[in-house]
Each structure stands twice: as C-alpha cells, then as structure tokens.
Chains A and B, each alone.
Chain A
C-alpha cells in the first residue's frame, strides 16, 4: 500500500521541528549536532517523498548531496567538538560565550 504524500511530509515537518527545537534548547554540543542531523534527514525525507510522488529522480539525487554534506559537516563538527573539549574541558554551549567581548 502506498503511504499518502501528506503523511510523509507531516512526518518530515515533525522531525524538522523536533531537530530545530533540539538545536535551540539543548546545551550539549553533541546533542545539538545530532539534532542538526535530524533536521537534514527530515529534509531528505521530504525530498524522497516528492521524488516518489512526481516520479522524478532529481529528488533522490539531491538526497545524496545532502548526505555528503552532512557527512562532511559531522566530520568537521566532531573534530571541532574534540578541539573545544581539549581547550575548555566542556561541551556545554552555555560555557562557550567568548564570541562576546
């Protein structure tokens, strides 16, 4: 049976919103990065859904791009987290406020 498009989009929106909220309110950088991944994957889901709906491969193609970007982002992001932890002995964003003078 075919799952109707709005269902999938609804799931995608829910995932995206959850991810965004997580990014905004969680304090641990690792969690924030994971929430970021969730937002990206919510977008991926929407792409796939549309690709299936319109019977076009463009959406699936884009998903690969997003996954590549996400993989790169995670690699860089985690490296940064490790570096920050070494410097400051913390992974909580509340303690990382030196952007301000």
Chain B
C-alpha cells in the first residue's frame, strides 16, 4: 500500500480538475460530493498507509517512493518523490482528516453561494498542494507545495473578490508571503550549494558532519526560518493573517488555522537536524515564537470581530509551536500543531456556525445569550475553548503543558514566564469571546433575532467530530507515565535531537506541579473574564477608560500595520512611482521614442531624394556609370 502514497495528493487534484473544468455545469450536490469525497479518499488512503507503516519492521522505515525524475541537470537532481516517515504520516493524516471534515462542513456553509464550484475547486487544489508540501522528500518539491498553498490562500481569501477589503486582504497575504518565500528560496539555494543535494535525508546526513554552530548551517536555518515566519504568521510577517479572515469561514478554519499556517512549524521540525546544529538559529526561533505568542495574544484581548480574535489566537498558538521548536522540543511543537489543528478548526467552524445563525454577523457586541438557541455549536465551541485554554483533560492541556514544561527545563525561565503569561491571556480572551457570544444579555439586532437557528447536520456533525478530536486528541501524548508517550516515541525517528539537550527525567511531583500551575493560570484567566463580562459587564469599559493609552495601543494592534505602511509600503510605492514616471516614462520610453524620432526626422529629409521622376533616376545611373568609367580610366 505504501507505494501508492503518491495517490494521496492525486485525489484532490482530480477533484480540482473536475470541479474546476466542469463545476459550473454539474449539479451542486455532485460538486460538493466530489470535493469532499476526493479528500475523504485521501484520508482513507493515509489511514491505510499509516496502519501498514506501523506494522513495518524498524529497518524498513522510513520509505521513499519515487514517482519520476522531474529535473536532472548536471549534479542537480530533483525528483517527484514522497517520504513516508512518522512526521510526514502525522502531517498527512492531520491535513487530510481535518480537510475532509471541513469540506463536509463547507457543503452546508457555502450552499447558497453562487461561487460554489469555484470554492470547491480552490479548496481541493489547496489540499493537493498541502499534501505535496508535507509528503515531499526534498526541499524543491516542498517549495512547490509551499508556493501552491500560498496561491490557494490568496485565491480563497479573495474568494468574494467583489469586496474591496477581501481582494486587498488577499493581495496583502500574497505579498507578505513573498517576503518569507524569498528567504526560503535562498535557504534552498544555500542548501544545494553547500551539500550538493536537496533530498531531506541526504542533507541531514551530510549536515551531521558539520560542527555545531557552523556559519553556513546557521545561515541556512535562518533563511528557512524567514520563510516560516511568512507562512506561519510570526513576527515580523504576521500582519497578513488577521486580514485573511476576509475569506469564507471554513477557509479560515482549514488554511489559516489548521493546516497551511502550520507549514512553517512542520518545516522547522523537519529540519530539526539542521536547527540543532545552529544554536543561534534555535534561539532566534524561540525568541520570535515567545514574542509572537504574547504579542498576538494581547492583541486578541481587544478585538470585537470573533474571527479576528481567533486569528490572533492562531498567531499566538503558532508562536507556542515555534517556541517549542526553538527550545529543541520539536515533538512538543508537532504535538501542539496536531491538537491545535483540531480545536482551532473547531473554533473557526463554530464561529462560522454562529455567524450562520445570525445571518452573517461577526461582531461579538451584537451577540449574547446564544447558548440556548444553538446548543450544539455552544457545546462544541466550549470544548474547543477549554482545549485551547489548556484545561484537563482536553487536547490542548497536554500539548500546551508539554511546551511550557520544555520551555522551562530546556529553555530559559524567561521563555516559560512569557509562555505562561500568554496562556493566561489566551484563557482570558477565549472566555471573553465565549461569554460575549453565549452568555449575558442578548444584544442581537431585532430583525436578526427572530430567525436564529441551529445549523443543519451537515455542519454540526463536523463540529462534533472535531469536538471529539479536541477532547481526546491529547491522550496520545500523556507525559507522566513512563513509556506512555506514544506520540513522542512514534515521532522520534523523524526528529534529530542534538546531544546537548536535556533528556534527563524529572520527578513526577515536578511534572504534576507544572501541570497544576499551568492549569491554575488558565483558571485565573477564565475567572477574570468571568468577573469582567458576566458579573460586572460595565467593568471592561471602566478598565479601558482607566488605561486609555495602553488600551488604545492594543486596540489599534500596536499600530504595526500603520508603521509597516509608513516604513515599507509607502516608500516602495513612492520609489515605484518614481521608477514608473521618472525612469520608465522618461528614460526608457524616451530612448525608444527618441530613436524613432531621429529616424523619422532623417527620413523626412532623405525621402526628397526619391523624386519619382524617371529621368532623375536615369541621370543618377548615367552619372554613376560616368564615375565608374572615369575611375577605371583614371587608373
């Protein structure tokens, strides 16, 4: 079965081709069925391969399946091939599984949209590229997927392209991602230049011969990380993700929460062999991750658009994953990636279900008291919220706790402090959202209020499936019991740790103490949210008034967008205008038009030689002959 791994991305590609070429002519139900079924097939195949892989003897792992040679030029060789190892299997399962659920949900959510076939074509194309990205066995093929998902992200953010804000957001995402991709591409060039190959396993084998902290590895890893900051929305390139919420909600769930934005984390974990050789890069990753975690979390506190709250929360959680990778706990990062895919997809789909109930409303100030009207959405949203806050025994508890634990024992107390503070803020803003949406007095506008309704089963069943994932998904990584960490054991062959990292065991008291403390932090966050939004609903305004300056700063997202506009966008615009009007219009066009003008001026005079009178030409001939004869005679 493993040799058919290449079929996993091919299924969605078939779906894309069918829906893309003929979608407009097919009935809606068929379009939705094809879209979802193709991804479902991928998921089924992934599960089958997963099961077969687990049964393989250790020496047969990992397997590479080559489909064909794409480029062969000199010593450079790029093949279309898939690497089947624990890391790629986990990523393939998460991507195809969550994608399948979200496709099913989309059938209901997008049902009345005129762009239905286009939507499913894009979504299938996205899944294809994402599966190529995580299944690839070399950097170039990964880059193909990397760019492909960027393209699909652009297409889907700007799905409602009639809306100015949506098409602007799409452009912003695309342009910001280009900056990161530029770094990624340089990283790949440098890898080929240094190692002479781009195959993952060959590169990692060769890299092991380099000393720890060697300059070239540090450069490679930093370039690659620049790519990751773009794709995974980290400081300084995170600004596109909140704007990306302009796309349809299932898109936000799939691309901008569960899968695409985690590509950067996947890439860093995949290159763990390189990163562990570059302590400086590791430090950069950890610092950026920690900074993003708290920075984005703080911005989430003041947002009123529910999807934007979730967007900042995503940025913040991605920060956690990078923090984990940065301190060397790559498995913890991937573990959090997996649990996050479940609960964050669920949160977004829940938000979609809420806005579906409220005729498209996303502003939390116009919600409230919804829990009785949409009970399934409420319960599933609640599970996801508890999971993201890290409440026992939901999925987020295990993964987040592991990150906090590693940031303390493998990293620095400062990382741990920042991550814990971010955990507190996360609990606060998530419950702020829950309280504002589901509790308190209803602030729903009257004309919307009378047709609040629960979503159809095609939307609620995916919510329930993801809720199960969010509830029990963490159990694969129970940390304390000796040997009970199935996830870590399984992932171990894909992750290469440097020898310098702590592998010591800690006492159970210490681990449990850490857990209790992180849970305490979350509970305090929840309590503060409860005080402010249930007990005393007037309190938020008072607090905002009291800390006017700080509140304004956070509310305006630290003015980062404005700073970028001023420092980067405007200068580029100005210089582009100069290049357009000054250099292109004047110099380049001037040279072209000028030479044409000179020719035209000269011809206007030379043409007078051509009189059109026969005898003038005859005279010229005679004179010519006379000249030649004279010359010959003269000799």
Contacts and interface: CB of A to CB of B under 8 A. Distances in A.
A99 B614 CA distance: 8
Interface stretch (A1-9, A59-67, A89-97): A89-97
A37 to B, nearest CB: 15
Given A20-B622, A24-B622, A100 B611 contact: yes
Nearest to B625: A20
A75 interface: no
Contacts of A98: 612
A94 to B, nearest CB: 7
Interface string A1-35: 00000000000000000001001110000000000
A83 B38 CA distance: 79
Interface string B595-635: 00000000000000011111100110010000000000000
B612 A24 contact: no
Contacts of B618: 23-24
A100 B619 contact: no
A98 B613 CA distance: 8
B619 A24 contact: yes
A93 B618 CA distance: 12
A94 B622 contact: no
A29 B622 CA distance: 18
A97 B615 CA distance: 10
A25 B612 contact: no
A11 to B, nearest CB: 19
A97 B612 contact: yes
A42 to B, nearest CB: 14
A100 B612 CA distance: 4
A100 B615 contact: no
A96 B622 contact: no
A93 B616 CA distance: 11
B618 to A, nearest CB: 6
A97 B613 contact: yes
A99 B616 CA distance: 12
* B interface secondary structure, majority: helix
A25 B615 contact: yes
B612 A99 contact: yes
Interface string A67-101: 00000000000000000000000000110111110
Interface residues of A, number: 11
Contacts of A24: 615, 618-619, 622
Nearest to A20: B622
Nearest to A29: B614
Contact of B613 (A20, A23, A94): A94
B622 A97 contact: no
A43 to B, nearest CB: 13
A54 B612 CA distance: 44
B614 A96 contact: yes
Contacts of A20: 622
A97 B619 contact: no
A94 B613 CA distance: 7
A93 B622 CA distance: 18
A89 B328 CA distance: 101
A23 B363 CA distance: 97
A101 B615 CA distance: 17
Nearest to B617: A99
A18 B396 CA distance: 114
Contacts of B610: 99-100
Contacts of B613: 93-94, 97, 99
B444 to A, nearest CB: 80
A97 B612 CA distance: 5
B34 to A, nearest CB: 64
A23 B615 contact: yes
A23 B619 CA distance: 9
A96 B619 CA distance: 16
Nearest to A27: B615
Contacts of A25: 615
A20 B620 CA distance: 12
B605 to A, nearest CB: 14
A24 B612 CA distance: 14
A63 B618 CA distance: 24
Contacts of B615: 23-25, 93
Interface in B208-230: none
A93 B614 contact: yes
Contacts of B612: 97-100
Contacts of B619: 24
Contacts of A100: 610-612
A66 B610 CA distance: 31
Contacts of A94: 613
A98 B612 CA distance: 6
Nearest to A36: B618
A91 B89 CA distance: 95
A97 B617 CA distance: 12
Most buried by A among B615, B619, B622: B615
Contacts of A23: 615, 618
A24 B622 CA distance: 9
Nearest to A93: B614
A97 B613 CA distance: 5
Nearest to A21: B622
B610 to A, nearest CB: 5
Interface in B528-586: none
Contacts of A93: 613-615
Interface in B76-96: none
B468 to A, nearest CB: 85
A98 B610 CA distance: 11
Nearest to A100: B612
A65 B618 CA distance: 23
A94 B618 CA distance: 13
A72 to B, nearest CB: 20
19 contacts: A20-B622, A23-B615, A23-B618, A24-B615, A24-B618, A24-B619, A24-B622, A25-B615, A93-B615, A94-B613, A96-B614, A97-B611, A97-B612, A99-B610, A99-B612, A99-B613, A99-B614, A100-B611, A100-B612
Q: Nearest 7 CB-CB pairs, A to B?
A: A100-B612, A97-B612, A99-B612, A93-B614, A100-B610, A24-B619, A97-B613
Interface of A: 20, 23-25, 93-94, 96-100
Given A97-B613, A99-B610, A100-B612, 11 more contacts: A24-B615, A24-B618, A24-B622, A93-B614, A96-B614, A97-B611, A97-B612, A98-B612, A99-B612, A99-B614, A100-B610
Interface of B: 610-615, 618-619, 622
